[in-house]
Structure 1
Amino acid sequence: MNKVPMTAGGFQSLKEELRWRQQEERPRIIEAISEARSHGDLSENAEYHAAKEQQSLNEGRVNELEDLVARAEVIDVSKLTGEKVKFGATVVVVDEDSEEERTYQIVGDQEADVKSGRISISSPIARALIGKEVGESIEVNAPGGARGYEIVRVQFI
């Protein structure tokens, strides 16, 4: 059973989604199935089939969330220190071509959100950053070609 690294915030989000799916979404879907059943012939009842499909999708996600919560290895980023980039680090880099500064936090796969600067530990840029220190340069093979970055700051917040 492989552990899944995640931040405390990511773990809380998963637990909240699991609670919502089990305690709110599941009863709503059961009610929709019951309502559709009361309309008669199930073979041609689109509402019934749609509700059953929703139930299947919801239960699949519940199973996935239960698995992730059970295998979660919650890492308290505020207790991490050091000079090297590791899981949970917030890293400020400068694009060597455009001089544009970017900030990324390295998080678990489930909590990644590039728009808010949270990148997955398994992403190409995170893999290139892991183990490096301030002042070092990295090269990342991105879909648009290789990009060079210099690490400006590493912090754990």
Structure 2
Amino acid sequence: MGENSKQIILTYEGVKKIEEELEYLKTIKRKEVTEKIKTAISYGDLSENSEYDEAKNEQAFVEGRIATLENMLKNAKIIDDEDIKTDVVSIGSVVKVRDLEFDDEFEFTIVGSAEADPAKMKISNEAPIGRGLLGKKVGDKVEIQVPDGVTTFEILEIRRQ
């Protein structure tokens, strides 16, 4: 089981984002890179042509990203809204928690690793907080190992997005 065959869990929103990026890369970005390569070739000598090298590197990156995204979609398990439970934390759940030490409230959305975006409080099911919250119920107190020690969260609410 290589990295490529690992099942990727996505919400519909995640699938849409990947499809949009794919569309952009396949249409606009591919054309841009092809134009850059053509322009660079027109400068002549390719052996000392940094524009050509850059354009070829960019092309390799774009094609690699396209392959990665297509692979993600091919191996994706898409979570339907009906699959998202509200009695226990699962992938796709929005979880409201209270940090008992600092008495702060947070809302995390538990997502598959491909959709994780900590800045938007989208936490991977494979990250310590995501793993710690999975399967828990409202009222549960959960101790989670974080980089600077242990945090205790009390689960206040579980809902769908």
* CA distance in structure 2 between the partners assigned to 1:100 and 1:15 by the alignment: 36
* Equivalent pair of 1:139/1:146 in contact (CA under 8 Å): yes
Distance in 2 of aligned mates of 1:137 and 1:123: 18
Q: Report the counterpart of residue 52 of structure 1 in structure 2.
A: 56
Cα contact 1:108–1:121 (8 A) shared by 2 = yes
Map 1:33-44 onto structure 2 (within 5 A): 33-44=37-48
Partner SS state of residue 101, structure 1: strand
Q: CA deviation at 1:135?
A: 0.6
- Taking the TM superposition and a 5 Å limit, the aligned residue runs for 1:56-135 are 56-77=60-81, 80-135=84-139
1:3 deviates by 2.7
**Displacement of 1:156 after TM fit?**
1.4
Equivalent residues of 1:5, 1:72 under 8 A apart:
yes
Coordinate RMSD, CA, aligned = 1.2
The number of residue pairs the alignment matches comes to 157
Q: Any conservation in 2 of the 1:21–1:58 contact (CA below 8 Å)?
A: yes
| Larger displacement relative to structure 2 (108-117 or 88-97) | 108-117
Q: Who is 1:20 aligned against?
A: 24
- Matches of 1:122 and 1:44 in 2, distance apart? 45
Q: Percent identity?
A: 36
1:78 Cα deviation from its structure 2 partner? 5.2
Q: Taking structure 1 as the reference length, what is the TM-score of the superposition? A: 0.95
Unaligned runs of 5+ in 1: none
Alignment partners' CA distance in 2, 1:110 and 1:93: 23
SS in 1 for 2:47: coil
CA distance in 2, matches of 1:54, 1:80: 39
- The runs of 5 or more residues in structure 2 that have no matched partner are none
1:78 touches 1:156 (CA, 8 Å); kept in 2? no
Give the 3-state SS of the residue equivalent to 1:105 in structure 2.
strand
Which aligned runs of 4 or more in structure 1 are off by greater than 4 angstroms? Answer: none
The CA deviation string for residues 74-114 of structure 1, in whole angstroms up to 9 with x for no partner, is 11235533411111110000001000000001011111111
Distance in 1 between the 2:97 and 2:75 partners? 31
